[in-house]
């Protein structure tokens, strides 16, 4: 037992543990100090968690798109953040039209469904074109080539939208039924929009998971992910399955775009960049290529960003801790990867690819 | 080793983020010793200017940092460094229109030469300021520069412009450090017509404490030199007056979810939140304040970075009653200027510093006319140090923003052109702009 441990030991592991241990110590000390000081009420902790869950659900929805494509093509689709942005933009045009005609106030549910449908269709359209024009011709190229293409496609889409609609922020209309709060007892008040975001994201993720696990297409996707050539020999149309994977990821990104814009009320050509980077981080955190991992990674990342600065740093008397929220998110990523190099749920994939 | 690729990548990202977060501190570190600049400052101005006036027929440049020679038929080259793309674009575009109107008022000519205007987009960040400053300072025909829009750009562009011997005058930089001679990164050849934030922050704090009668305040900045120093001045003055600062928080540029930081602020129960930042982060704070429990009665206040016509709609209903401090110019000459603006661009001024830009441009023209040596054939020689000195010596200059007098550090603002506005339904729902003046410094 000891001998095996010694054999596996190496210098890079040690250096990473040396980085990891003090960070954990700092987190524990900081959290303890914050909780002991008791500046925050139960209500406020509950709020922090809900804010984190809502933000995390959106990260998770986008992260699924990265992870699905990575699972099948072993490439990181950096243009995915623009698929998200185009959904939000299409949603904006429908939402502002419906809002001006007062339809959104008289039939809010139908109106919202129309907004989601158009956004999802636009995102899917963009993703399918992307796959057909930018990625498929490079299917047999070295792995770096589609990666660079993805970055190029990302810029192309961003600046196309900027050229067409300008660099100004578009303000989403407010939807009356999504304003206001629900009270679940004295300490638990929750914004309706956050309920919508969390519930919608959970339903979509459950739907996707069932699709991948239960349907024939899902089975074919898993087969292609394990080995494209063998899957083709078994009579699976690999190209068709890849397109369907892009469609699934894009549909979730389109829905995430609308949810994000309903929550923050803005759309802009550059809006996909930061959520895209965060979602990619979430996918890596959960174990890239793994569907439940992306969901878990997204929710964790959202929670770290929302709860982390207060919980870890307030007790240490760090001034203005929210400026460090990205540092906390990436520190968590490093910590997880130090101890689990393949991400939280990435074990199975790593063994399969080793 | 391969399994660690992502963790090493993550470490690198983390390290870079920490460096960015500490960037504020890093910019105040002493710069590498300026090698050429001291010579420029040490040069006695008195010797340069007279030498220029008693020039013989064949002009010989005696200026300490060189001359610009404009041959007959060549234009006099003025450059701009402004933010004309991205979320802060209205500020820079508005500045440029002020410059263009000033040139048009001169008939497009100075000393018999056409005025050529070129410029670079500086993106409202240090990187953009660096790039634009490098490009402009490499062009020896540039006489003077109007810029920059954001204080962070000036920080990066100022050393480059200064080393090239040029002079830059900003219509909208308000960061106090830029004209502070004791700052370790101070450079000669920089002036501004915008108010110094030592003034704006003081006015905001006095307004909140004396006029509104509020005793507790929280502030938020975004890490930019502008916001960081402005909220610090506000906090210092507010404490001096007898108020309490519950907390001073910060967000990152690019953040969208402000509810956690607002929840943290809510634990201190401040009566006012002062966030002198830019769009879109300011929009998110103003919109999300109403979604955080404990802040129902808290007043919000922003500064000139948010005094832009796109802000009320983006912030929405929650910003009703919010206060903004910003440039305010009135009077007959200004009304005439606005009429020209509307005729030329088909819309009312989109931001607040067009009049400051107009004045800045005219200060440049007046100084050029004062120091230029014109040969018999029409060639114009402009001594660079003489031009700087003439601009620093501006006194009682009649501008749109009042009577401008520059001090030796480059501050030319009058202090008259500032007011506090309040947002109402008219701005938020009907798109009215600018909002009504609520209070002016000096009023009860």
Angle, CA A283 vertex, CA A281 and CA A285 arms, to 5°: 65
What are the Cα distances from residue B137, in Å, to B68, B76, B157?
Answer: 13, 15, 9
Q: Do A265 and B316 touch (CB under 8 A)?
A: yes
A214 to chain B, minimum CA–CA distance in Å?
31
Segment A210-231 shows an average pLDDT of: 92
Best interface-test mutation with A: which of B1, B7, B287 has the largest number of A CBs within 10 A? B7
Q: Which of chain B's residues have a Cβ under 8 Å away from the Cβ of A337?
A: 4, 6-7, 10
Cross-chain CB nearest to A48 (options B4, B221, B260) = B260
Burial class of B66 by CB neighbour count within 10 A (0 to 12, 13 to 18, 19+): middle
- What percent of the residues of chain A are helix, what percent strand, and what percent coil, each to the nearest 5? 80, 5, 20
Best interface-test mutation with A: which of B22, B259, B279, B317 has the largest number of A CBs within 10 A? B259
Q: List the single residue in B with minimal CA-CA distance to A48.
A: B260
Instruction: Output the domain CATH number for residue A215.
Output: 1.10.3470
Angle, CA B49 vertex, CA B45 and CA B53 arms, to 5°: 170
Closest among A196, A248, A258 to A221, alpha carbons compared: A248
Q: Do B257 and A55 touch (CB under 8 A)?
A: yes
First vs last C-alpha separation in chain A: 23
Q: Do B14 and A330 touch (CB under 8 A)?
A: yes
Q: Which of chain A's residues have a Cβ under 8 Å away from the Cβ of B7?
A: 16, 334, 337-338, 341
Q: List the single residue in B with minimal CA-CA distance to A38.
A: B267
A320 to chain B, minimum CA–CA distance in Å?
4
Q: What is the CATH number of domain B45-194+353-413?
A: 3.40.50.2300
Cross-chain CB nearest to B3 (options A264, A284, A341) = A341
Q: Which of chain B's residues have a Cβ under 8 Å away from the Cβ of A311?
A: none
Which range marks the domain in which residue A53 is found? 2-353
Task: Assess contact for B368 and B34: CB atoms under 8 A.
Answer: no
The verdict on B285 touching A (C-beta cutoff 8 Å) is: no
What three-state secondary structure class fits B139?
coil
Taking only the tens of pLDDT, chain B with its 444 residues reads: 455 666 666 666 666 666 555 444 333 333 444 444 444 444 444 444 444 444 445 788 888 899 999 999 999 999 999 999 877 888 899 999 999 999 999 999 999 999 999 999 999 899 999 999 999 999 999 999 998 999 999 999 999 999 999 999 999 998 889 999 999 889 999 999 998 888 889 999 999 999 999 999 999 999 888 899 899 999 999 999 999 999 999 999 889 999 999 999 999 999 999 999 988 899 999 999 988 888 989 999 999 888 888 899 888 889 999 999 888 888 899 999 999 999 999 988 888 899 999 999 999 999 999 999 999 888 999 999 999 999 999 999 999 998 899 999 999 987 778 899 999 988 888 888 888 889 888 777
Classify residue B436 by its DSSP letter.
P
Q: Do B256 and A274 touch (CB under 8 A)?
A: yes
Distance in angstroms (rounded) separating the CA atoms of residues A49 and A189 = 12
Q: How many CA atoms lie within 13 A of A234 on its CB side?
A: 14
Distance in angstroms (rounded) separating the CA atoms of residues B189 and B230 = 23
Task: Assess contact for B301 and B208: CB atoms under 8 A.
Answer: yes
Task: Assess contact for B167 and B387: CB atoms under 8 A.
Answer: yes
Task: Assess contact for B229 and B219: CB atoms under 8 A.
Answer: no
What are the Cα distances from residue B432, in Å, to B436, B437, B443?
Answer: 10, 13, 25
Best interface-test mutation with B: which of A171, A262, A290, A347 has the largest number of B CBs within 10 A? A171
pLDDT for res B10: 66
Closest among B352, B30, B317, B353 to B170, alpha carbons compared: B353
Structure tokens at A93: 């045009």
Distance in angstroms (rounded) separating the CA atoms of residues B363 and B370 = 11
Task: Assess contact for B146 and B412: CB atoms under 8 A.
Answer: no
Q: List the single residue in B with minimal CA-CA distance to A49.
A: B260
How many CB atoms lie under 10 A from the CB of residue A55? 28
Unique residue bearing structure tokens 């106090």: B176
B354 to chain A, minimum CA–CA distance in Å?
20
Q: Is the peptide bond before B294 cis (omega within 30 degrees of 0)?
A: no
Structure tokens at A248: 């699934």
The verdict on A264 touching B (C-beta cutoff 8 Å) is: yes
What are the Cα distances from residue B283, in Å, to A119, A151, B257, B347?
Answer: 24, 29, 11, 23
Q: Which of chain B's residues have a Cβ under 8 Å away from the Cβ of A274?
A: 254, 256
Task: Assess contact for B253 and B284: CB atoms under 8 A.
Answer: no
Cross-chain CB nearest to A274 (options B254, B293, B316) = B254
The B residues from 387 to 406 touching A (CB cutoff 8 Å) are none
pLDDT for res B142: 95
Q: How many CA atoms lie within 13 A of A54 on its CB side?
A: 24
pLDDT for res B156: 94
Q: List the single residue in B with minimal CA-CA distance to A52.
A: B260
Distance in angstroms (rounded) separating the CA atoms of residues A75 and B427 = 48
Q: Which of chain B's residues have a Cβ under 8 Å away from the Cβ of A259?
A: none
The A residues from 187 to 206 touching B (CB cutoff 8 Å) are 189, 191
Structure tokens at B385: 């140090």
Task: Assess contact for A49 and A187: CB atoms under 8 A.
Answer: no
Best interface-test mutation with A: which of B5, B8, B13, B280 has the largest number of A CBs within 10 A? B13
Start-end of CATH 3.40.50.2300 domains in chain B: 45-194+353-413, 198-328+419-439
Structure tokens at B135: 């490009």
Structure tokens at B408: 């030796």
Q: Is the peptide bond before B148 cis (omega within 30 degrees of 0)?
A: yes
pLDDT for res A8: 67
Q: Do B87 and A167 touch (CB under 8 A)?
A: yes
Q: Do B259 and A310 touch (CB under 8 A)?
A: no
- As a whole number of Å, the CA-based R_g of chain A is 22
Topology of domain B198-328+419-439, CATH: Rossmann fold (3.40.50)
Sign of CA dihedral A218, A219, A225, A229: negative
A80 to chain B, minimum CA–CA distance in Å?
18
Q: Do B259 and A51 touch (CB under 8 A)?
A: yes
Q: Do B267 and A305 touch (CB under 8 A)?
A: no
Strand ranges for A42-173 from DSSP E: 170-171
Which ipTM score applies to this complex?
A: 0.85
What are the Cα distances from residue A335, in Å, to A274, A344, B113?
Answer: 21, 11, 65
Q: Give the DSSP H or E segment for B121.
A: strand B113-121
pLDDT single digits (tens) B51-97: 444 444 578 888 889 999 999 999 999 999 999 987 788 889 999 99
Q: Which of chain A's residues have a Cβ under 8 Å away from the Cβ of B313?
A: 171
pLDDT single digits (tens) A2-23: 666 666 667 777 777 888 888 8
Partners of B218 in beta bridges: B247, B273
pLDDT single digits (tens) A116-157: 999 999 999 999 999 999 999 998 899 889 999 999 999 999
The verdict on A313 touching B (C-beta cutoff 8 Å) is: no
Distance in angstroms (rounded) separating the CA atoms of residues A288 and B372 = 67
The domain total for chain A is 1
Classify residue B396 by its DSSP letter.
S
User: DSSP states of A175-238 as a string?
Assistant: -GGGSSEEE-STT-EEEHHHHHHHHHHHHHHHHHHHHHHHSHHHHHHHHHHH-HHHHHHTT--H
Q: List the single residue in A with minimal CA-CA distance to B314.
A: A171
What three-state secondary structure class fits A42?
helix
Residue A280: pLDDT band with limits 50, 70, 90? very high
The A residues from 95 to 134 touching B (CB cutoff 8 Å) are none
How many CB atoms lie under 10 A from the CB of residue A213? 11
Q: Do A326 and B264 touch (CB under 8 A)?
A: no
What are the Cα distances from residue B307, in Å, to B304, B323, B409?
Answer: 5, 10, 27
Task: Assess contact for A245 and A154: CB atoms under 8 A.
Answer: no
Unique residue bearing structure tokens 């429990």: B293
């Amino acid at each position: 037992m000891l001998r095996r441990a010694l054999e596996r030991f190496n210098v890079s592991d040690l250096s990473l543990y040396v980085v990891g241990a003090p960070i954990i110590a700092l987190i524990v000390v900081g959290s303890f100090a914050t909780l002991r000081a008791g500046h925050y009420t139960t209500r406020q902790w509950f709020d922090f968690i809900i804010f984190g869950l809502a933000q995390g659900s959106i990260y998770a929805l986008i992260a699924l798109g990265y992870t699905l494509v990575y699972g099948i093509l072993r490439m990181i689709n950096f243009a995915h953040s623009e698929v998200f942005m185009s959904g939000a933009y299409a949603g904006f045009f429908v939402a502002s039209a419906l809002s001006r005609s007062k339809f959104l106030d008289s039939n809010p549910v139908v109106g919202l469904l129309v907004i989601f449908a158009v956004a999802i269709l636009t995102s899917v359209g963009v993703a399918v074109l992307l796959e057909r024009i930018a990625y498929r011709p490079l299917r047999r190229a070295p792995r770096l080539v589609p990666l660079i293409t993805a970055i190029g496609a990302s810029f192309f889409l961003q600046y196309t939208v900027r050229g067409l609609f300008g660099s100004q922020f578009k303000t989403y209309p407010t939807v009356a039924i999504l304003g206001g709060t629900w009270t679940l007892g004295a300490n638990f008040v929750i914004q309706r929009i956050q309920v919508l975001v969390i519930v919608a994201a959970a339903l979509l993720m459950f739907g996707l998971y069932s699709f991948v696990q239960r349907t024939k297409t899902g089975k074919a996707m898993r087969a292609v992910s394990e080995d494209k050539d063998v899957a083709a020999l078994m009579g699976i149309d690999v190209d068709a399955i890849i397109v369907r994977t892009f469609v699934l990821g894009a549909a979730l990104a389109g829905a995430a775009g609308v949810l994000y814009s309903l929550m923050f009320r803005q759309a802009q050509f550059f809006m996909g960049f930061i959520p895209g980077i965060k979602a990619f981080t979430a996918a890596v955190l959960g174990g890239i290529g793994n569907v439940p991992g992306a969901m878990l990674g997204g929710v964790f990342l959202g929670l770290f960003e929302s709860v982390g600065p207060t919980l870890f740093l307030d007790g240490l008397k760090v001034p203005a801790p929210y400026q460090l929220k990205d540092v906390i998110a990436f520190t968590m990523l490093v910590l997880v990867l130090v101890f689990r190099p393949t991400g939280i749920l990435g074990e199975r994939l790593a063994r399969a690819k080793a | 080793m391969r399994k660690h690729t992502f963790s090493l990548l993550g470490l690198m990202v983390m390290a870079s983020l920490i460096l960015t977060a500490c960037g504020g501190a890093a910019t105040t570190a002493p710069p590498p010793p300026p090698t050429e600049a001291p010579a420029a400052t040490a040069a006695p101005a008195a010797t340069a200017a007279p030498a220029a006036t008693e020039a013989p027929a064949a002009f010989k440049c005696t200026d300490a940092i060189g001359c610009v020679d404009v041959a007959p038929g060549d234009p006099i080259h003025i450059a701009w460094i402004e933010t004309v793309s991205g979320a802060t674009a209205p500020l820079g575009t508005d500045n440029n229109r002020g410059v263009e109107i000033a040139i048009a008022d001169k008939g497009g000519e100075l000393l018999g030469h056409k005025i050529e205007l070129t410029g670079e987009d500086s993106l409202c960040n240090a990187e953009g300021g660096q790039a634009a400053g490098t490009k402009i300072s490499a062009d020896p025909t540039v006489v003077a520069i109007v810029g920059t829009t954001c204080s962070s750009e000036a920080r990066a562009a100022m050393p480059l412009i200064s080393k090239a011997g040029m002079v830059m005058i900003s219509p909208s930089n308000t960061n106090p450090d830029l004209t502070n001679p004791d700052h370790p990164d101070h450079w000669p050849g920089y002036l501004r017509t915008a108010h110094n934030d030592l003034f704006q922050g003081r006015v905001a704090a006095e307004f909140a404490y004396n006029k509104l009668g509020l005793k507790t305040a929280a502030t938020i900045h975004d890490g930019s030199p502008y916001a960081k120093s402005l909220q610090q001045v506000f906090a210092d003055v507010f404490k001096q007056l007898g108020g309490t600062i519950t907390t001073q928080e910060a967000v990152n540029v690019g953040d969208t979810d402000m509810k956690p930081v607002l929840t943290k602020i809510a634990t201190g129960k401040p009566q006012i939140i002062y966030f002198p930042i830019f769009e879109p982060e300011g929009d998110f704070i103003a919109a999300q304040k109403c979604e955080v429990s404990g802040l129902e009665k808290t007043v919000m206040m922003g500064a000139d970075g948010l005094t832009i016509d796109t802000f009320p709609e983006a912030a929405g209903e929650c910003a009703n009653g919010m206060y903004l401090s910003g440039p305010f110019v009135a009077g007959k000459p200004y009304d005439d200027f606005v009429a020209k603006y509307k005729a030329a661009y088909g819309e009312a001024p989109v931001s607040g510093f067009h009049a400051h830009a107009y004045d800045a441009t005219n200060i440049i023209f007046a100084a050029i006319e004062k120091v230029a040596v014109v040969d018999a054939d029409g060639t114009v020689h402009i001594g660079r140090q003489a031009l700087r000195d003439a601009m620093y010596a501006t006194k009682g200059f009649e501008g749109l923003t009042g009577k401008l007098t520059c001090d030796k550090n480059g501050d030319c603002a009058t202090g008259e052109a500032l007011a506090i506005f309040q947002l109402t339904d008219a701005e938020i729902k009907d798109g009215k702009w600018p909002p009504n003046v609520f209070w002016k410094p000096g009023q009860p």
